[in-house]
Amino acid sequence: MATESSWLWMGSISADMDEKFIKEAFANMGFKVLAVKEIFNKTTSERATYCFVDFGDIKTAREVLIKLNGESIPGIEGKKFKLNRSEYGRGSSHSDGIEYSLFVGDITSDVNDNHLLDFFRIKYPSVRAAKVVIDEKGSHKGYGFVRFFNEEEINRALTEMQGVKGLGQRPIRVNKAVKSKNPINAVASGLMDPNTVFPGWMQMQMNYMQQMYQFMQQCQEYAQQAADRAGLNREASIRSPSVCSSTTIQSNQLLTDQVNQTFNDDDEEEEQPEYADPNPHIDIEGMNEEFIINDDKLFFELEASRWDPEIGLLLALKQTPVWKR
């Protein structure tokens, strides 16, 4: 088991909590701080929302952790001390403040911050902090993050710790954590913290879903144009926008048919004219029910088919029409 140090990890610090403020906050609680090490992102140069605090000896650091963790911070209403053990500044030459974050998934609910920290820093000396993610209700989210201060070690961990057993009840999976640039506009809508960190595989999935959504919007625009040219304005205006947004695999075929009819059906209609009811009956309730029932199937079938948005759009424009009146 890794040895303790006189340094503690301190999280959830805001922009106005600088080194001077942190020292005074602990002093007001009866503890003297020898040093505060602030951390900066190696890419953006922004200050991280955590730091490391040195209390001079292991005994004092242990006492601070026990007595102050979870207690209110003097001077800031509603803010509490969030502390954890750390080995920052102990026996390591990598103290330049550059940090690297490792995502750790498939963590079972019996794993806490200390378990995660000890599991990694026994093998990687540059590990200085670890955090298991808990939601607002206190429920275990099943993943966490480990902070490295050595790029070579985090690269080794990506290979050596993949599928390793011994932490909790399941083998873990690891990946480099990356900041989300635009997680489907969730930040703009106020539904997500702009500092949220996402693993690489999750970011790819979110980008994929965003491309798919944009493709579906294009299909709807083409379908509306086709309906206008075919004289189906009245029927199109009857349909609810909420139904169009819940497009299924079956409705995709209908949209494709409408697009193709615009470009390919004119000559055939001149050679073999047909007469159709200008106001055909449309079972709106039945169509709505079918769309809702099949809505969830769309995402699973698209993922299983490895669908590509660019190829899908080309096929939609070139497919032989099967429109029937």
**CATH number, residue 79:** 3.30.70.330
Q: DSSP letters along 10-43, please?
A: E----TT--HHHHHHHHHHTT----EEEEEE-TT
pLDDT of residue 151: 87
Closest CA to 297 of 240, 256, 239, 246: 246
Which residues fall within 8 angstroms of residue 105, CB to CB, at 6 or more apart? 142, 143, 172, 173, 174, 175, 199
Q: How far apart are CA 218 and CA 206, in angstroms?
A: 19
Instruction: Please state the rounded mean pLDDT for residues 300-325.
Output: 53
Please check whether residues 66 and 112 belong to one and the same domain. no
Q: 101, 176 in Cβ contact below 8 A?
A: yes
The region of weakest confidence among 59-63, 125-129, 156-160, 206-210 is: 206-210
Q: Is the pLDDT of residue 286 over 90?
A: no
The identity of residue 68, as a single letter, is L
Please check whether residues 58 and 105 belong to one and the same domain. no
Residue 179, classed as helix, strand or coil, is strand
Q: Which residue has the higher pLDDT, 58 or 250?
A: 58
Q: Is the pLDDT of residue 273 over 60?
A: no
Please check whether residues 128 and 174 belong to one and the same domain. yes
Q: Is the pLDDT of residue 36 over 60?
A: yes
pLDDT of residue 154: 92
Q: How far apart are CA 108 and CA 142, in angstroms?
A: 6
Last residue of a domain, one of 189, 205, 228: 189
Domain of 77, in residue numbers: 7-85
Q: φ and ψ at 286, to 5 degrees? A: -65, -40
Please check whether residues 105 and 75 belong to one and the same domain. no
Q: φ and ψ at 36, to 5 degrees? A: -125, 125
Please check whether residues 66 and 115 belong to one and the same domain. no
Which residues fall within 8 angstroms of residue 265, CB to CB, at 6 or more apart? 321, 323
Which residue in this structure is represented by tokens 């075929």?
A: 253
Q: Is the pLDDT of residue 121 over 70?
A: yes
pLDDT of residue 39: 86
Please check whether residues 76 and 117 belong to one and the same domain. no
Q: What value does the mean pLDDT of the chain take? A: 71
Q: What share of the chain is helix, strand, coil (3-state, %, to 5)?
A: 40, 15, 40
Please check whether residues 68 and 33 belong to one and the same domain. yes
Q: How far apart are CA 256 and CA 86, in angstroms?
A: 59
Q: Is the pLDDT of residue 161 over 80?
A: yes
- Model pTM greater than 0.85? no
Please check whether residues 22 and 74 belong to one and the same domain. yes
Tell whether 61 is covered by a domain.
Answer: yes
Tell whether 39 is covered by a domain.
Answer: yes
pLDDT category, 162, cuts 50, 70, 90?
very high
Which residue in this structure is represented by tokens 């690489």?
A: 200
Q: Please measure the distance between the N-terminal and C-terminal CA atoms of the chain and give it in whole angstroms.
A: 75
pLDDT of residue 85: 81
pLDDT of residue 307: 53
Q: How far apart are CA 215 and CA 313, in angstroms?
A: 7
Q: Is the pLDDT of residue 264 over 80?
A: no
pLDDT of residue 92: 46
Give the pLDDT confidence of 210-242 residue by residue, as tens digits: 666 666 666 666 566 666 666 655 444 444 444
Cα dist. 255→161, 170, 229, 302 in Å?
47, 45, 14, 17
Please check whether residues 123 and 181 belong to one and the same domain. yes
Tell whether 109 is covered by a domain.
Answer: yes
Please check whether residues 80 and 118 belong to one and the same domain. no
Please check whether residues 12 and 63 belong to one and the same domain. yes
Tell whether 260 is covered by a domain.
Answer: no
Q: 89, 7 in Cβ contact below 8 A?
A: yes
Tell whether 24 is covered by a domain.
Answer: yes
Q: Is the pLDDT of residue 89 over 60?
A: no
Last residue of a domain, one of 55, 85, 115: 85
Tell whether 310 is covered by a domain.
Answer: no
Tell whether 261 is covered by a domain.
Answer: no
State the total domains in the chain. 2
Give the pLDDT confidence of 65-74 residue by residue, as tens digits: 989 999 999 9
Tell whether 317 is covered by a domain.
Answer: no
Q: Which residue has the higher pLDDT, 204 or 196?
A: 204
Q: DSSP letters along 224-291, please?
A: HHHHHHTT-HHHHHHS-HHHHTT--HHHHHHHHHHHHHHHHSHHHHHHS-----SS----HHHHHHHH
Cα dist. 167→17, 209, 214, 294 in Å?
34, 32, 41, 40
Last residue of a domain, one of 189, 221, 253: 189
The region of weakest confidence among 75-84, 120-129, 179-188, 207-216 is: 179-188
pLDDT category, 110, cuts 50, 70, 90?
very high
> Sheet of 47-54: strands edge to edge?
35-40, 47-54, 7-10, 83-85
Please check whether residues 65 and 123 belong to one and the same domain. no
Which residues fall within 8 angstroms of residue 22, CB to CB, at 6 or more apart? 10, 13, 33, 36, 51, 53
pLDDT category, 130, cuts 50, 70, 90?
confident
